[in-house]
Amino acid sequence: MPLSALNEDQLSAATAPLGHNLIIASAGTGKTSTIVGRIAHLLHKGIDPSKILLLTFTNKAAGEMIARLERHFPKKVVSKIESGTFHAVSYRWLKELHPNLALKQPSELKTLFRSIYEKRNFERMNLPLAPFSATYLYEMYSLYQNASLEGFDVWFLEKYPDHEVLMDAYMDIAQEFEQEKIDYGFASFNDLLLRMKSHLENNIIHFEEVLVDEYQDTNTLQGALIDSLKPRSLFCVGDYDQSIYAFNGANIENIATYSKRYTDANVFTLSINYRSTAPILSLANRVIERNERIYPKKLVVGRIGKTHPPRLLMYNDLFEQYQSIAQSIKHTHVPNDQIAIIFRNNSSADGIEACLRELGIPCKRKGGTSFFDAKEIKFLLDLLALLVNPKDMMAFIHVFEYASGVGSALSKEFFQCFLHFGNGNFMQGVLYPQVNDLPKLNPNKNVQLG
């Protein structure tokens, strides 16, 4: 059974009483086994599996935990557990409430945002500084949604106070963007959490326990969503030292203030590392020993066997580095399929790959441009999307991105015209127009806030 394989620290955490439990689990200390053991403990205690919610950062992680549980419990029991990423779970719930909800990719919504931005004639505002581009403003707005529960203007002006003169225009663009998403039934990944949080403010989805993996990487919005669920018990697993996604909105305060926000909190620490050898663990301990300590931690080696100390190799230039890596692999006794090269960027990967090929060393590269991201494929997919759903304005706009001199704003007006010509039917408007006059588009679109 899952519990019988746990060590003392893991077992204490997995069998903790219902309440607010925080488990500090460094890499390699068996956090997945502990979470699986916790769910097994809840099931043994007679808790309804449908009242258990498991939130992870990848669907693969959730799938692995569910697969482990299915080795010990009937599949019909385990399948009742609600599991997945924050976004996947929220999407399932929202689709039940709004069956016609269409989840759009960031690239699509960025195009919609740009079409709204382009209607503003900033040049006529006689500004003392240049406004941010549509792309940068969209990225800042997306980051804001993850990082703050305050108004966009409050959050934005803390970072860019010199843009106060433009804030009304920025706010107007953001408000129109939100309204257009609602009008067309679109939702972004951020919207999934925002709308679910809003729904939970007036509605209850009861869970006996909510389990959260990689808690150190949760952002302000995800933390607020967890609070909105109001579960009877909360079981969070994370590691303060592994929080590396602050640039993407992760809020270290979620894990740092856990004991202060929940005064009844129990904090458990998993200290035995089963993944790394003693030399690697010793180096890791030295790296983090000067970190600000909120939760005490000292990693202990749990792996035995032959060890090799980590080495730092320094070179005069990149080409020398690439050649040395290739030569080392050529002369090692380790099978090629047991070797991994981690690179910082794709240009480094090109150099390493070239040196490996020169020595006749086979390699398989992961990453790069996806087949479905190629322009030709995206164009065909947008055409097909338009045929399947003639109301998909974003697909229409994307098709016209390949037309010279036609921007997002003009493409959107074309779409609205075709709808008008077909009395609301896009295909009718393109092939067999019923209305001959031009639609009355917003006459003030070029001078808003100008």
DSSP track, 260-274: HH-TT-EEEEE-EES
Fold that domain 2-96+193-301 belongs to in CATH: Rossmann fold (3.40.50)
Instruction: Return the minimum-mean-pLDDT range out of 54-58, 165-169, 273-277, 438-442.
Output: 438-442
Place of tokens 């949604």: 145
Residue 217 pLDDT: 93
Over the stretch 302-320, which tens digit does the pLDDT of each residue have? 777 788 889 899 999 989 9
- pLDDT recorded at residue 293: 67
Give me the phi and psi of 84, to 5 degrees please: 145, -175
Q: Which one of 68-77, 237-246, 418-427 scores highest in mean pLDDT?
A: 68-77
- Give the integer Cα–Cα distance in Å for 141 and 150: 12
Amino acid found at 398 = H
**Higher pLDDT residue, 172 or 294?**
172
Query: How many alpha carbons lie under 13 Å from residue 212 in its C-beta half-sphere?
Result: 28
Model pLDDT for residues 226-246, shown as the tens digit of each residue: 999 999 999 999 988 787 787
- Which residues of 134-241 form beta strands (DSSP E)? 186-187, 209-212, 233-238
* Residue spans per domain, the chain: 2-96+193-301, 105-184, 318-358, 371-431
- Per DSSP, the three-state class of 85 is strand
What is the distance of C-alpha 295 from the center of its chain? 26
Question: Could you tell me if 86 and 215 are in contact, meaning their C-beta atoms sit under 8 angstroms apart?
Answer: no
pLDDT in tens, 107-166: 999 999 999 999 988 888 888 899 999 999 999 999 999 999 999 999 999 999 999 999
Cα angle 269, 275, 281 (rounded to 5 degrees) comes to: 75
Q: Cα dist. 69→9, 34, 44, 281 in Å?
A: 20, 12, 12, 30
The first and second tokens of residue 112, run together, are 């919609």
Query: Could you give the percent of the chain with pLDDT greater than 90?
Result: 59
Q: CA 270, CA 297: separation in Å to the nearest integer?
A: 9
Q: What are phi and psi of 30, to 5 degrees?
A: 85, 40
22: phi then psi, degrees, rounded to nearest 5: -120, 125
Query: What band does 442 get if pLDDT is binned at 50, 70 and 90?
Result: low
Question: Mean pLDDT across the stretch 57-61?
Answer: 92
Q: 444 pLDDT exceeds 70?
A: no
> How far apart, in whole angstroms, are the C-alpha atoms of residue 43 and residue 37?
10
Range of weakest confidence among 249-263, 358-372, 400-414:
358-372
- Tell me the pLDDT band of 369, cut-offs 50, 70 and 90: low
Put residue 214 in one of left, alpha, beta given phi > 0 → left and psi -120 to 50 → alpha.
left
Q: Say if residue 174's pLDDT is above 50.
A: yes
Has this prediction a pTM greater than 0.85? no
